[in-house]
Every structure is written in structure tokens, then in C-alpha cells.
Amino acid sequence: MNGVKTTAALGCATALALGLAGCGASYEGSGSKDAASAEQLAQRTDDPWAAEVVADDAARAEGNLRDGVYTGYGRGMEGWISVTLLVDDGRLTCLETAQDGESQSRGGYEAIRDGRYAQMIEAAQGSDIDAIAGATITTAGVKQAVDDALAQAGAEVATDVAAAGAAAAAAQEGESHE
């Protein structure tokens, strides 16, 4: 009788162990099946960051712009985004894109840091850039910053863009004096 109970207990323990083994992650390094699916999908899809942004060296920005260096500001998800543009004979060169307060958990953080937005601005010769997936608000802030810099260079832009840029510049100066 005691041997039957022991055999039954061992059988149940084996079944339980085998059943729990099936609950583990089916893909190395992942903690869930959703994460595993995302990782596996990412390995099979094209890398959106790998797409090269091609700029036309003959393209010029629209409008009658004054040569110089201009820094514009736009509102990102968690802080201000600045874009510094060099205008030389109607041609835009993006000298710097920076963020103040954006975190790595935001989609546009990498695009600002890697210079992806700078490449897009130079290719478009203005603010007419495509949104980056997962970074809609950051992209809008970058566009606003470009428009603000272009307004300083003499381009005709919407009044609300110029006002927002002026407010951001004032906020930046206030923070730097603290």
C-alpha cells in the first residue's frame, strides 16, 4: 500500500514538472510569449533605422532666408527639443538636434541622438519630414523647432509656431540662469 502511494506521488510530481516545463519561455531571453513573438518578428523584418536618407545636394530651402546660424525650439513629449540650423545660400545644414528631458523610453530619443532627424531635415530642406514610428510627438516637436529656426532666418511660418519657439527660448534662458 505504501509503495502504491509513493508511485502515485512520483507520477503526479513527474506530470506536474512536465506540465510546468511547458510554461517556460519558448524563446531564449524572453519572459513572455508576446516578447518572444516581437523578438522573432524583429529578426525577420527590415530595420527601419537601416533605410538611408538621401539628400539632394542641389536642393534649397523654400523662401528667402538670411544666411546664419539659427536655433529653434519645439515641445517634445517630456521637454524641449532644439534644432540648430546653418543657412548658407538657401541651403540648410542641421548642425545639432538636442533634447531636454526626453527619456530613452520615448521613440524619438534615439532618432535625435543618432542624427536621424538631422538627416531627414537636410534631405527635406525644411520641416516636411516623415514621422518616426513611436515618436509622433517628438517628430512634431522637431518640426516645430525647425519652423522656429526658419522663422528666425526670415521664412514665413505660422504665427503659433513662432510664438511657441519664442516661449521655448524664454523658458530655456530661464532654466539656464537658475
Structural domains counted in the chain = 1
Domain membership flag for residue 29: no
Is residue 13 classed as helix, strand or coil in its secondary structure? helix
Q: What pLDDT digit, counting tens, does each position of 95-149 carry? A: 999 988 766 766 688 888 889 999 999 999 999 999 888 888 999 999 999 999 9
Domain membership flag for residue 79: yes
Is residue 43 classed as helix, strand or coil in its secondary structure? helix
Q: Which residues contact 137 (CB under 8 A, 6 or more apart)?
A: 76, 77, 108
CATH number, domain with residue 161: 3.90.1010.20
Domain membership flag for residue 6: no
> How far is the C-alpha of 172 from the C-alpha of 162, rounded, in Å?
15
Tell whether the model's pLDDT for residue 161 goes beyond 60. Answer: no
Q: Regarding predicted confidence, which is higher, 58 or 31?
A: 58
Domain of 76 in residue numbering reads as 68-176
Burial readout 91-110 (b: 16 or more C-beta within 10 A, e: otherwise) = bbebeebebeebeeebbbbe
Residue 77 DSSP symbol: S
